[in-house]
Structure 1
Amino acid sequence: MQLYPVAGSRIYIGPAVTSVPDDEDLDVTDFASVSWTEIDGWQTMGAIGDSKALITESAINRGRDIKAGGTKNAGSMQNQFLILPDDDGQLALIAAENTSFNYPFRIVHDDAPPALSATATMTIAAPGVITWTGHTLVAGDRVKFSTTGALPTGLVAGTTYYVVNPASDTFSVSATAGGSAITTTGTQSGTHTVATVPSGSTKLFYAIVMGSPEQGGGANTARLVSTTLEINSAILRVAAAAA
């Protein structure tokens, strides 16, 4: 059995939206262009997830109530944060509480699989082709490069790229997800290494920020801000990925 600690999780807030898509229309593309701001100092993560309303009816000719599941409610997520007066995320959260709008939220958990890496070769071509023998990458996977010398012009060490045109032992990369393959130019030297960029599981949803009261206590108690998020959409769950 694998346990998944809460430690290492991160929460982000985006700008206000004027409407929230219906459950049937909501997918990860609705969050693709959001400019996220991390809310720092996250101390306690609240419960998150759907529950159904219970419908109960009694029939006089039956000895047991009849029950059915009603509409779903993703609930109220109660979070606590260490007070960081200059944190952009906390300032955005407090500002959101003063409006009636919905805001996109993203939770990223620290459960990404280990990165994979291998020595790779590269061509100077349009597009540049990377050879990683026996790789299992698919289009859209994320990779980055390092080298003991110099990468071809068009690639920068430590930058995240997206796999395009994968074949059994080769692939090209783009600068953005779904973008065009990068042309490599110039010269190269040294030994190059390619590594996957794993991602943890993610939750995406819209919520109304209902309040942000401060919590006090005794002399040796840290001040906290408590925030209630009334989740107002389906919760999209994106599994952890190796790349």
Structure 2
Amino acid sequence: MTIYATAGAKVFIGGVMAQQSDDFVESDFSSETWVQIKELEALGSLGDAAEEITFSAIGEARTKRLKGSRASPPMELVCGLDYSDAGQTAAIAAEKEIHDYAFKVEFNDAPEGGTPSERYFIAKVASASEAYDTANSVMKLNLSLWVNSNVVRVDAAEA
């Protein structure tokens, strides 16, 4: 078993990408032009959760739980605020739009000479807010991504 640190991970924003009925696959993202969102401090979390549907059966005195539609909680990115970073600028611009954008997360887990694992998805940039905190703090850009698709998992590969 091998585990990896989050350190070295990268997040990229692509262009506008429309939602679709079917799950996305890796090839759906192959024509994207990616811009790295730099100065990341935290990546938040990424993944799906089912909505709970309950039914209380009177005769059984038992509440039954079913899985409903799936949704991902927001992915919360925290960046050191960098006015010159093209990725941060693209994310701030995307927050002003109603569209979903393509995103890619690349991990620092490539085998020697191989390729790293990646995650692909589409999301709306729901918020882009600046946090200033105290005198001895780095000013931050907080981005909230509303994930609107499945997450495509691509495993790290040997050379």
Amino acid at match of 2:31: S
Partner residue, 2:145: 229
Following superposition, the deviation at residue 3 of structure 1 comes to 2.1
1:4 aligns with 2:1: no
> Which amino acid in the other structure matches residue 2 of structure 2?
Q
* Alignment equivalent of 2:29, drawn from 28, 31, 36: 31
| Partner SS, residue 29 of structure 1 | helix
Gaps of 5+ in 2: none
* Residue 127 of structure 2 is aligned to residue 111 of structure 1: no
TM-score, with normalisation over the residues of structure 2?
0.96
- Contact 1:74/1:232 (<8 A) preserved: yes
For these two proteins, the number of residue pairs brought into alignment is 159
Counterpart residue number, 2:62: 64
SS of corresponding position for 1:206: strand
The match for 2:119 is 203
Identity within the alignment, %: 32
The aligned counterpart of 2:44 is 46
Residue identity matched to 2:47: G
The whole-number CA distance in structure 2 between the counterparts of 1:47 and 1:28 is 20
Residue by residue over 1:162-200, the C-alpha shift from the partner in whole angstroms, topping out at 9 and shown as x without a partner, is xxxxxxxxxxxxxxxxxxxxxxxxxxxxxxxxxxxx111
SS of residue paired to 2:109: coil
Distance in 2 between residues matched to 1:213 and 1:28, nearest whole Å: 30
Q: CA deviation at 1:15?
A: 1.2
Give runs of aligned pairs for residues 107-186 of structure 1, distance below 5 A.
107-115=105-113
Output the TM-score relative to the length of structure 1.
0.64
Q: Which residue of 2 aligns with 1:75?
A: 73
CA-CA distance at 1:203 after TM superposition: 0.2
From the superposition, tell whether residues 200 and 38 of structure 1 become closer, same or farther in structure 2 (CA, over 3 Å): same
CA distance in structure 2 between the aligned counterparts of 1:11 and 1:35, rounded to whole angstroms? 13
Question: How far did residue 215 of structure 1 move?
Answer: 0.6
The question of whether the paired residues in 2 share the 8 Å contact of 1:44 and 1:81 is answered with yes
Structure 1 residue matching 2:82: 3-state secondary structure = coil
Give, in whole Å, the separation in 2 of the partners of 1:23 and 1:5: 32
Q: Give the deviation of 1:23 after TM superposition.
A: 3.2
Q: Which runs of 5+ in 1 are unaligned?
A: 116-197
Name the SS of the counterpart of 1:242 in structure 2.
coil
**Per-residue deviation, 1:16:** 1.4
Question: Aligned to 2:12, what secondary structure does the other structure show?
Answer: strand
Tell me the CA shift for residue 65 of structure 1: 0.8
Report SS of the residue matched to 1:96.
Answer: helix
